[in-house]
Amino acid sequence: MKPLVLCLLALCLILPVQATELKVDLGHGVTVYRTDVLLKRTDVRTINVPADVAFHRSMHYRAIPLAALLKGIDARAHLQFVGSDGFAVEIPAALILNQHGSEAWLAIEDPVQPWPALNANHGHAGPFYVVWTQPQAAHVSPEQWPYQLATIRRLDSVTERFPAIVPDPSLPAGSDVQRGFIVFQHTCFACHTLNGEGDAKLGPDLNLPYNPTEYLRADLLRAYIRNPQSLRQWPQAKMQGFDVQALSDADLDAVLAYLRYMAGRKILH
């Protein structure tokens, strides 16, 4: 081995591992949290997550109660969690502050003891990952476990920020379309835009230029949502399927009703 290479390897062993940062903006300035500082906090705990959404097995994490980083947040507040991969999920503060038994945690990856790689093409979950204990108690969805987390910010609601994705308010609140709109926000909107609106950067727009209900038979679209590889086998695909535990048949029916409806409400910017 050449002397220069040996010197570089030795330097890597001597230098400390670079700490990474999480930015939190609750509307009164950005607070930056570093991994090394967070791991030294007195409220750090080792927690067990029996059925981890990202790793699909039991995992142990060094973690902080997420609510501890959101001091003073009102239950009516709306929060957005943005990953470095372009994933952007909306989580109401009420879910994080719930009294039903579910607890949200910020899992912090120790650079000295990194987490294993994720399956397939999903990269790495670190440095920050929102995990839940007892998620079923408050009906936490799989999309509400954002990993590769880079930013948490308080924002106006989705309907206020993105009016082009909202169904006609004259539709009955209990209609399939209105129910589907709610399901869409919890699932599809974390990765996709619609009518060119949304903050996610992972997947294509679901209405422009064509809505998937316009070019896929209903049975094929259902199969694709359940298991994307059943329709298109693509090793580099990042979309994960939604089984019946993550998305019930009734909720799948509703989100398809919403998509069919929005196919007639294209808005070009």
Domains in the chain: boundaries: 19-155, 161-262
| Alpha carbon distance 63, 66 (integer Å) | 9
pLDDT digits (tens, 9 = 90+) for 192-236: 999 999 998 888 999 999 999 999 999 999 999 998 888 777 666
C-alpha closest to that of 105 among 143, 134, 136: 134
CA pseudo-torsion sign 202, 208, 209, 212: positive
Query: Could you tell me the pLDDT band of residue 269, with boundaries at 50, 70 and 90?
Result: low
Residue 18 scores a pLDDT above 80? no
Tell me the C-alpha to C-alpha distance, in Å, between residue 250 and each of 197, 219, 240, 256: 26, 15, 19, 10
Sign of CA dihedral 200, 243, 48, 95: positive
Cis amide linkage into residue 142, ω under 30° from 0: no
β 78-83/88-92 pair status: antiparallel
Mean pLDDT across the stretch 5-33?
67
Class of domain 161-262: mainly beta
The per-residue pLDDT for range 148-188, each reduced to its tens digit, is: 999 999 999 999 999 999 999 999 988 999 999 999 998 99
Report the distance separating Cα 128 and Cα 32, nearest Å.
Answer: 13
Average pLDDT, the chain: 89
Cβ partners under 8 Å of residue 211, min gap 6: 259, 260, 262, 263, 266
pLDDT at res. 10: 42
Cis bond leading into 127, ω under 30°?
yes
Please list, in sequence order, all residues whose beta carbon lies within 8 angstroms of the beta carbon of residue 33, skipping any fewer than 6 positions away: 21, 22, 23, 24, 69
19-155, which class in CATH?
Answer: alpha beta
Q: Please report the pLDDT score of residue 83 as a whole number.
A: 93
pLDDT greater than 70 at residue 33:
yes
Percent over 90 (pLDDT), the chain: 72
Give dist(CA 9, CA 21) in Å, integer.
Answer: 25
